[in-house]
Amino acid sequence: MSAHDLDLERFEHLLDVHGADLERWPEELRREARELLSSSAPAQLAWSRAERLAAVLDAAPDILPSAALSARIAALPARYPQGWAAWWPFGNLLAPLLGWGAAAAFGLLVGSGVVPGLDGDFGASAPAAALAGVSASGEPAEDELAQGAAADGTWAEANAADELSGDDWSDFELALGLAPGWEEEP
């Protein structure tokens, strides 16, 4: 485009399109616009009008976002998690996992009877006491009595401790056909 193509009417239209800042004009139009400005008083008036409009528009300052808005927007990812986390209603995955893990560990410890403070004064549970060699009432277990008696050489007492009730023997002998008084039965 030559300088002759850029007449005043077109120049005014281009001012409306691109504004008064010639640096924002398309590069191929800048030189012609400057040439016209240097030689035409009406073009200078039109440019001056466009520049004043830009200055008036700039008198309306940008409204800055408040700190509260910035904080709300920065916190959006926590409120609206992406992916699978969006379907998980309990927040951070670590918290429930830790809770479940702690509960499972406590259950295992109680079950194995090695929880400190749950024996002795507080009364031992049967399985825990059995592992500790103490009866539920606090008396030594029968196996321990037998072992103690055997160690002392009192075999009779050990046998007595091992001896089952009379009914049990009768059942056993009955099962073998050797029950006492079997032959005495008519």
Partner 1 sequence: MTDLAMTQLWLDLCTTMSVDQREQTRSSPREKLEVSATADDVGLIELVAGGDVRAYRQLVDRHLRGIHAFAYRMLGNRAEAEEVSQETFLRLWEHAGRYLPQAKPSTWIYRIAHNLSIDRLRRRRERSAPVAPDELPASERPSGLFLERQVAEAVQRALDELPERQRAAIGLVHYQGLSNAEAAEVLGVGVRALESLLARARRQLRDRLAALAPAQRKEEA
Q: What are phi and psi of 6, to 5 degrees?
A: -90, 85
Least Cβ distance, residue 88 to partner 1 (angstroms): 13
Least Cβ distance, residue 34 to partner 1 (angstroms): 20
Residues of this chain, 75-134, that bind partner 1 according to CB under 8 A: 76-77, 80-83
- Go through 66-84 and write b for each residue having 16 or more CB atoms within 10 A of its CB, e for each that does not: eeeeeeeeeeeeeeeeeee
By CB under 8 A, name the one of 5, 9, 38, 74 that touches partner 1. Answer: 74
Distance, in Å, from the CA atom of 181 to the CA atom of 186, rounded to the nearest integer, reads 10
Residue number with CB closer to partner 1 (60 or 175): 60
Written as one letter, the residue type at 36 is: L
Query: Total binding residues for partner 1 by CB under 8 A?
Result: 34
The neighbouring-strand residues paired with 134 are: 140
Written as one letter, the residue type at 155 is: W
Contact residues for partner 1 (CB under 8 A)? 13, 15-19, 45, 48-50, 52-54, 56-57, 59-66, 69-70, 72-74, 76-77, 80-83
